[in-house]
Chain A
């Protein structure tokens, strides 16, 4: 007999990667962190220029994926 935990695990494995909350939240976190560092770093103006794009992508992604089921 399969336990509820095993059923949950099977359902989670069926879900495609980009619909899984854990890894997608991690990707969004990395994007926000990188954008934040790019915004305040003192080394390269080009990094500063693209920081908002990175931050926005990460934040929007985080807001969306944090609504996915666990």
Chain B
């Protein structure tokens, strides 16, 4: 037997080692494993600090000042907790919070129920299930800008397909209602689009959960003559629960920040019926140019999502330990 490199990868590595200048090779060989690990992760940590952590700390600082981004040369003064006081006493922001809560609650509920139901069906492994899984995932792959624009066309009262489908099933004339222009229907129009786009994402996570349940558990249940209903509630749901909770956590965090879809579909209107917190935040920051105040608002939202994520992760760990 020879020690000569056998595979292409080994031969390439050998050639690369020979081509490395001796000074660099000696220097690298002198590093410990720990040092090399740090060498690899340092760029990522530096990038994370620059892109995520620094802006967060900067926003916390700005939230205690009267800084306005359209007057960069004006003197910046500390205002203490005044920005927080104003945000937390503003009835308009309070209403935006309620709109956000309504949007988050319904989108998560619908996405979880529909996503899990589709995953349950796909998991039956019928003929062509791989093809249908890919088809179902298409909405998730589209850009929110594209989705927003074509749903605007679908919701058109004169030519929109959505109104015609509703008309076909209910008999209501298609031009008699306007999804995006009606105060009562506009929030639901956004909820429908978000559910259409992100239910496949929940489906994907739930499908991973369902596929991880070993078959022998169902076989044992069959031997014990457990009904399909009993198997669903005693095996499928408890074993897929950590995955469902994970999907809810991801979608919850994302939906609190929802901006693009709402902006494209309704722009916060009609009136302010669909003005979610992120749109109010954008208006405060880039229309009223109250940068300090909008930073305080952003920090409040961050604390809310961070706090909720903490207790949610705790609950998730408990479910996993069961």
**A55 pairs with B307, CB closer than 8 A:** yes
Q: Using an 8 Å CB-CB cutoff, how does the interface string of A33-50 with B read, 1 for contact, 0 for none?
A: 101100111100100111
**A59 pairs with B94, CB closer than 8 A:** no
Whether A56 contacts B97 in the complex (CB less than 8 A), given A32-B310, A45-B89, comes out as: no
User: In the assembled complex, which residues on chain B have CB atoms less than 8 Å from the CB atom of A39?
Assistant: 97, 300, 304
User: In the assembled complex, which residues on chain A have CB atoms less than 8 Å from the CB atom of B94?
Assistant: 45, 48
Complex partner residue of A40 from B84, B88, B101, B310, CB under 8 angstroms:
B101
Any A CB within 8 A of the CB of B308: yes
- Nearest A residue to B97 via CB reads A40
Whether A59 contacts B88 in the complex (CB less than 8 A), given A40-B101, A45-B94, A48-B94, comes out as: no
User: In the assembled complex, which residues on chain B have CB atoms less than 8 Å from the CB atom of A35?
Assistant: 304, 307
**B307 pairs with A36, CB closer than 8 A:** yes
Q: How far is the CA of A49 from the CA of B310 in the complex (A)?
A: 22
- Nearest A residue to B89 via CB reads A49
User: In the assembled complex, which residues on chain A have CB atoms less than 8 Å from the CB atom of B306?
Assistant: 59
Closest Cβ of chain A to B272, distance in Å, is 14
Complex partner residue of A56 from B89, B100, B101, B303, CB under 8 angstroms:
B303
Any A CB within 8 A of the CB of B149: no
User: In the assembled complex, which residues on chain B have CB atoms less than 8 Å from the CB atom of A51?
Assistant: 88, 304
Closest Cβ of chain A to B146, distance in Å, is 31
A-B contact pairs, 13 of them (CB 8 A): A25-B314, A32-B307, A33-B311, A36-B307, A45-B94, A49-B88, A50-B88, A51-B304, A52-B84, A52-B300, A52-B303, A58-B307, A63-B310
